[in-house]
Amino acid sequence: MRALSLAALVALLLDQASKYAVVHAMGLATRHQIDVLPPLLTFRYGENRGINFGLLDGDSDAARWVLIVFSLIVVGAVLVWVRRSHASNLPLLIGAGLLIGGALGNVVDRLAYGYVLDFLNMSCCTIRNPFVFNVADIFIFLGAGMLILFDSRASKRKKGS
């Protein structure tokens, strides 16, 4: 479980450090947009009160707390699942840690600001992406992908079918 804890801590710290550096130190909160490698990478300020890509966007305090509680339930469920059945699967432990660290990074934002700070925008090939996301979201998606990829029980079920 040490790998899980370390991955979660690294993901949480990288997420919070990136938000501080870009939003506060670089002044994105007041500048609203910084072209880094346009159009591939642009920093664009966003306040996400919903889940990924602004889905379930709710501006109420109740919605904020529902999302905080939901995130913490997911974190707890992943921890229980990994401890019970995958405690020796190192890649899965790292994936779980990344997912947990990312989720906790967004929880910290909701507690501190009332919303999640987003700042990454990527577009390519004449397709303009209107959405912004953050480093925590990257860790959540990467961690979830690793859980799917490295779940040995799921791959054994597939082979048995």
Cβ burial 61-90 (10 Å sphere, 16+ → b, else e): eeebeebbeebeeebeebbeebeeebeebe
Is there a catalytic annotation at residue 137? yes
Active-site choice (35, 57, 61, 137): 137
Closest residue by Cα to residue 18 from 143, 106, 110, 112: 106
Active-site choice (15, 109, 118, 151): 118
Helix (H) / strand (E) element for 20: namely none
Closest residue by Cα to residue 101 from 36, 33, 31, 10: 10
Active site residues: 118, 137
